[in-house]
A and B are shown apart, each in its own frame.
Chain A
Amino acid sequence: MTHSRTPGHATPRGLNRRALIKAAGASVLALGLGISTVQAAKLGYPEKEELIFGFIKLTDMAPLAIAYEKGYFEDEGLYVKLEAQANWKVLLDGVIDGRLDGAHMLAGQPLAATIGYGTQAHIITPFSMDLNGNGITVSNAVWEEMKPNIPKQADGKPVHPIKADALKPVVDKYKAEGKPFKMGMVFPVSTHNYELRYWLAAGGINPGYYAPHKGDTSGQIQADALLSVTPPPQMPATLEAGTIYGYCVGEPWNQQAVFKGIGVPVITDYEIWKNNPEKVFGITAEFAEKYPNTTIRVTRALIRAARWLDENNNANRPEAVKILSQPNYVGADEKVIANSMTGTFEYEKGDKRPVPDFNVFYRYYATYPFYSDAIWYLTQMRRWGQIAEAKPDSWYHEVAKKVYRPDIYKLAAESLIAEGKVKPEEMPDFATETGYKPPEKTFIDGIVYDGRHPTEYIDQFPIGLKADQTL
């Protein structure tokens, strides 16, 4: 090495200097080695390259469509086929029995499957697909009856957000007439079910309890409004047929109701809980264990797709709308999808308002699987009796850690940062991130949610089971 040939001085000071130089050389060497070990640890080739992913026709499946169309899956050496599924149950069963390798899932699905509510299977998620994106729509007739109860703005349009207080007199009237007030949601453990329940309960309407320990999974015990399952794409048709008076569903099925003139969206989930976590990408724990590289690579492709969707302040959204309107993806008309994907939301026909964060795919660390998000869903399952017995705080944390896998996300994100495909500031600080968001104060009823203390949170609701209450 050059510095070893440097003529040294026989003084102690010179020796020191030489020693210093040597040390510096060694550290340069170490740095070099360090780089080469990073290269050695470079992400391996995927163990499984041909994959089939399932999705439901909703705009929030966008990261999958974009990862496919923009070649992000292929960049990872993955050959992915995307298949629309008939409903959430078929989709979940597909992932469990291996017909599908992974799928666009409701956040509650991996949690419910893992704790054995419904079909028992250990499903995990390394990637959260989006924030917000749902709405609650009521039929024209119900809207006309609700309208007198809603305060007006100066321009005569209703003041938003509309609380379920405005719906309560209508529900009471139906009840008095002996007509059950029926509403649709997409799945018993869906975000939509919990959001609809949250909104109804915040307005004093009891959406009913589940009692799985007694074999009652209809969720209609003591209910003022009766909720039942309808697959998302069939919501508008079911509303039109008069089978239900309202529903909570993802896009484009609220905008579709406006477009068809059969119903009026009254509130978006953004107004029920600002930036609420929505869909996740679910795979079996077995899949992640058997194919670790594939799992990381899928996560990488999805992170890049989500980034593309939000890039330059939603600049790519019009292109995304075009892709999603293809019949093999969401397939609804472009203008219907565009209504919600491009930062506006049309409530009553002609009442289009800006909701820039209605669909968030990447901003606000939307793709990171936060434990506190998982725990919120568990608290709602407990609140409505799907989890029949009292559980200690520790149980909530354990389940969240079993299902939500920020460790996989971290590997994927760090490798993307190293390749310069993602900027470090777009990601949470992995060194300090605990997976628990700070207490959230943006709920429509003003109740603060802190994921660290789930049982305390459950006890705060006026309608709902208390943490230690059993039906």
Chain B
Amino acid sequence: MSRVITLFRNTLALEGQPGAGLNQWISRITLPLAGIAVFLMLWSFAARQIDTSLGAFPGPQAVATQFVNLYNEHVAEREKEAAFYERQEKRNAARVAEDPDYVPKIRPYTGKETFLDQIGTSLVTVMSGFLLGALLAIPLGIAIGLSPTLSQAVNPVIQVFKPVSPLAWLPLVTMVVSALYVSDDPLVSKSFLNSMITVTLCCLWPMVVNTSVGVASVDKDLVNVSRVLKLSTLRHVQKIVLPSAIPMIFTGMRLSLGVAWMVLIAAEMLAQNPGLGKFVWDEFQNGSSQSLSRIMAAVLVIGFIGFLLDRSMLWLQRRASWDKSVATS
């Protein structure tokens, strides 16, 4: 194990050496490409062997076709949308002519969400849920990390809730939201709240735990310095705790975001809330000869977005921490 780590370190270290630059650069490009090529070949081969009741399992080509289809559908839907608004304006004008007191209102488009729309919805939902989670979890984590008393008191609750599959929360969340969120002109839809709160609930725990560990393990010397200087609690957190705990906080956030993205797709599938999960479920229900390749296309997109989310957190982590060595992939 330690040899592997040393090897890994050496590889990393090589990056800095000018002599190995070109070779390194070539292998950094070619190896992943070769990996992808082998994967595509295996996939294509395996797909032809699997025959489902909906036809053959989609290979890379079928999925590529679907990406084109999905994009075309998106474009077509936008055209329909433009026509919808045009008709609506005419209708409004006609009504104003007939009934001058009428205040015309533009209603949002009533057509279906396209694949691209669903991606947008999922991204907005996951980020909202995640940010809300961070707003709750980080202060809570800091408080727990600072006070061993609080830590001991809260610990059992965290330990019990941490392993709960977020999907178990979903029915409860749905019922509570529909009971409490009553409004004639809601700002956001209930389905959005359901997905968002489910995401929040499950990305809470990794952040709380990591933040509290990070805060609790602040160098004792630094804590003593703070004591000597008689810093107020707020200054203590600001000057001593946060800077040392930031790498751990970000590790927690990265874990959380990964969990959040996985949970969101499942929650959308289960609750039929708009988003990529619903797209997958709808296609599964349709059971057409196109369904499997469309689902596969969605799977790839879900994976790719998950990867991008992780990379952007990593980038943020690097920007925010002073100890760059902690923030590795």
B is bound to A: yes
Cross-chain contact of B285 among A233, A260, A333 (Cβ < 8 A): A233
Bound: A99/B273 CA distance, A? 12
B residues 134-150 in Cβ contact with A at 8 Å: none
Interface flag for A115 (CB, 8 Å): no
CB pair B53–A333 under 8 Å, yes or no, is no
A99 — nearest CB in chain B belongs to which residue? B190
Bound: A45/B105 CA distance, A? 14
CB pair A233–B287 under 8 Å, yes or no, is yes
Interface mask (B85-127 → A, CB under 8 Å = 1, otherwise 0): 0011001000100010000010100101000000000000000
Interface flag for B154 (CB, 8 Å): no
CB pair B288–A49 under 8 Å, yes or no, is no
Interface flag for B321 (CB, 8 Å): no
Residues in chain B near residue A325, CB distance under 8 A: 288
Cross-chain contact of A79 among B107, B281, B285, B291 (Cβ < 8 A): B107
A90 — nearest CB in chain B belongs to which residue? B272
CB pair B53–A331 under 8 Å, yes or no, is no
CB pair A332–B95 under 8 Å, yes or no, is no
Interface flag for A390 (CB, 8 Å): no
In angstroms, how far is the closest chain B Cβ from the Cβ of A294?
A: 14
CB pair B272–A236 under 8 Å, yes or no, is no
Interface flag for B81 (CB, 8 Å): no
Interface flag for B30 (CB, 8 Å): no
CB pair A45–B283 under 8 Å, yes or no, is no
Bound: A325/B190 CA distance, A? 29
In angstroms, how far is the closest chain B Cβ from the Cβ of A394?
A: 37
Residues in chain B near residue A81, CB distance under 8 A: 110
Interface flag for A84 (CB, 8 Å): yes
Residues in chain A near residue B283, CB distance under 8 A: 327, 331
In angstroms, how far is the closest chain B Cβ from the Cβ of A344?
A: 20
CB pair A50–B107 under 8 Å, yes or no, is yes
A325 — nearest CB in chain B belongs to which residue? B288
CB pair A331–B91 under 8 Å, yes or no, is no
CB pair A332–B287 under 8 Å, yes or no, is yes
CB pair B288–A262 under 8 Å, yes or no, is no
Cross-chain contact of B110 among A80, A86, A234, A237 (Cβ < 8 A): A80
A337 — nearest CB in chain B belongs to which residue? B288
Bound: A326/B113 CA distance, A? 12
Q: Which of B95, B281, B287 has the most CB of A within 10 A?
A: B287
Bound: A114/B110 CA distance, A? 31
Interface flag for B286 (CB, 8 Å): yes
Residues in chain A near residue B190, CB distance under 8 A: 99
Cross-chain contact of A333 among B87, B91, B110, B289 (Cβ < 8 A): B289
Interface mask (B178-212 → A, CB under 8 Å = 1, otherwise 0): 10000000000010000000000000000000000
Bound: A395/B115 CA distance, A? 50
Bound: A31/B307 CA distance, A? 75
CB pair B107–A331 under 8 Å, yes or no, is no
Cross-chain contact of B95 among A45, A237, A327, A330 (Cβ < 8 A): A45
Q: Give the B-binding residues of A (Cβ under 8 A).
A: 45, 49-50, 57, 68, 71, 74, 77, 79-81, 84-86, 90, 97, 99, 233-234, 236-237, 240, 256, 260-262, 325-328, 330-333, 336
Q: Give the A-binding residues of B (Cβ under 8 A).
A: 53-54, 87-88, 91, 95, 99, 105, 107, 110, 112, 178, 190, 272, 281-283, 285-291, 294
Pairs A–B under 8 Å by Cβ, sample size 13? A45-B95, A49-B105, A80-B110, A85-B272, A99-B178, A233-B286, A234-B285, A236-B53, A236-B287, A327-B282, A327-B286, A331-B283, A331-B286
